[in-house]
């Protein structure tokens, strides 16, 4: 009880729905951070956590990130996130039933929360959830009438963010010959690695999953580095594309890069770490600006009828314009880039404020 009181009082979001899924032993958490600009919309993350508290905090922070992501991108959507905290030993057979029950909960929320794929969920999972809540699920397979996988669009947005960053650092947007270290070769990281190799960048990656390592090394031919070495490697751009919280006092001190541009959500452990990065002369592309591509593309294709090509154009443009503006604003106002990005989003969230 005390736990929930503390967690909710200190949070500036609107509400949280928590449900215990008895058959699978999983906790379902849906955090509604803001419906100011539209229905709370965000992906569904499925993984195991150390406990309910950690899962609730993750849902809270991720849903806040979505509020800023939509606002900065100029979308008329609010911030929300679904977290399904499964038991570490949950059997595969329990998954479809869990997703069906999760979908039926979303259906009963009647449009308060809309979802799509995120870490740990796939487009096929969206088909199952969407079977129960057809109007409230993005990113189903094309066969089921959805726009499919957001990952290539997220990767495209991150790539554009890297070009803007290179332009800012070197007065040249080309990534050819630049050394880029990718942390996490999941659905986004591997597409990004592939695109960067084609652009002539010197790409290195790390992951902990043997299958992902194998794929990137042997199918893509990207150089692998052990996870524990990832922060020390001298490079132009460090790209966090896995879990959040990787930019903290301990890691920033070890980092030998000129910029951080990646796809992971909530890369900063604490908001002050953006200042810490600045003090270490590391240019930080705010995560919710760099990684908006998937969300923008999939929702645009499904609600505005964009083709894939149109979606790609929108993603590139949104990331380029916003990030260039943020770097400028950060310089002009003498604030860190994360604060500059929040300022930009705030002007859309609270247009009446000067
Ligand atoms: N996982 C996406 C993100 O964090 C969320 C999303 C994807 C939302 C697709 C809607 C559609 O940005």
Say how far residue 180 (Cα) sits from the centre of its chain: 19
Residue 72: both structure tokens together? 């900065």
Residue nearest to atom 1 of ligand 1 (CA): 118
The predicted pLDDT at position 351 comes to 83
Average pLDDT over residues 234-261: 96
Give the DSSP per-residue string, 303-346: HH---HHHHHHHHHHHHHHHHHHHHHHHHHHT--HHHHHHHHHH
Reported as a single tens digit per residue, the pLDDT across 194-238 is 999 999 999 999 999 999 999 999 988 899 999 999 999 999 999
Ligand 1 site: residues with CB under 6 angstroms?
Answer: 41-43, 69, 116-118, 138-139, 150, 265, 294-295, 298-299
Q: What is the pLDDT of residue 243?
A: 87
Please identify every residue annotated as catalytic.
81
pLDDT tens digit sequence for 145-194? 999 999 999 999 999 999 999 999 999 999 999 999 999 999 999 999 99
Longest dimension (CA), the chain: 57
At 2-55, the pLDDT tens digits run 678 888 898 999 999 999 999 999 999 999 999 999 999 999 999 999 999 999
| Distance in angstroms (rounded) separating the CA atoms of residues 251 and 141 | 38
Give me ligand 1 centre to Cα 117, in Å.
6
Cα dihedral across residues 174, 177, 182, 186: positive or negative: positive
Q: Which atom of ligand 1 is nearest to the CA of 138?
A: 11
pLDDT above 90: percentage of residues in the chain: 94
What is the distance in A from the centroid of ligand 1 to the CA of 173?
Answer: 27
Q: What is the pTM of this model?
A: 0.95
Residue to mutate, 43, 71, 318, ligand 1, most ligand atoms under 8 Å from C-beta: 43
Separation of CA 4 and ligand 1 centre (Å): 26
């Amino acid at each position: 009880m005390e736990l929930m009181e503390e967690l909710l009082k200190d949070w500036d979001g609107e509400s949280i729905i928590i449900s215990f899924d008895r058959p699978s032993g999983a906790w379902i958490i849906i955090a509604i951070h803001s419906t100011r600009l539209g229905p709370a919309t965000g992906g569904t993350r499925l993984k195991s956590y150390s406990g309910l508290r950690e899962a609730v905090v993750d849902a809270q922070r991720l849903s806040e990130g979505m509020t800023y992501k939509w606002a900065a991108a100029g979308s008329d959507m609010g911030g929300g996130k679904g977290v399904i905290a499964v038991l570490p030993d949950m059997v595969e057979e329990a998954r479809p039933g869990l997703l069906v029950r999760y979908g039926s909960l979303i259906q009963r929320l009647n449009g308060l929360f809309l979802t799509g794929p995120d870490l740990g969920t796939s487009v096929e999972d969206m088909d199952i959830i969407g079977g129960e809540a057809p109007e409230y699920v993005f990113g189903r397979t094309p066969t089921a009438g959805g726009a499919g996988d957001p990952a290539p669009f997220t990767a495209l947005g991150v790539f554009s963010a890297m070009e803007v960053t290179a332009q800012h650092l070197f007065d040249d947007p080309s990534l050819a010959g630049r050394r880029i270290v990718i942390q996490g070769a999941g659905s986004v990281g591997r597409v990004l690695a592939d695109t960067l190799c084609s652009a002539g960048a010197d790409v290195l990656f790390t992951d902990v999953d043997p299958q992902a390592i194998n794929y990137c090394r042997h199918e893509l031919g990207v150089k692998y580095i052990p996870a524990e070495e990832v922060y020390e490697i001298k490079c132009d751009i460090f790209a966090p594309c896995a879990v959040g919280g990787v930019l903290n006092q301990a890691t920033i001190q070890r980092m030998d890069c000129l910029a951080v541009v990646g796809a992971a959500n909530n890369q900063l452990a604490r908001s002050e770490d953006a200042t810490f990065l600045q003090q270490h002369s590391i240019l930080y592309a705010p995560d919710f600006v760099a990684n908006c591509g998937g969300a923008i593309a999939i929702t645009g294709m499904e609600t505005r009828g964009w083709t894939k090509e149109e979606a790609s154009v929108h993603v590139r443009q949104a990331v380029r314009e916003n990030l260039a503006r943020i770097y400028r604003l950060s310089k002009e106002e003498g604030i860190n880039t994360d604060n500059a990005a929040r300022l930009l989003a705030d002007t859309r969230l609270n247009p009446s404020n000067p």
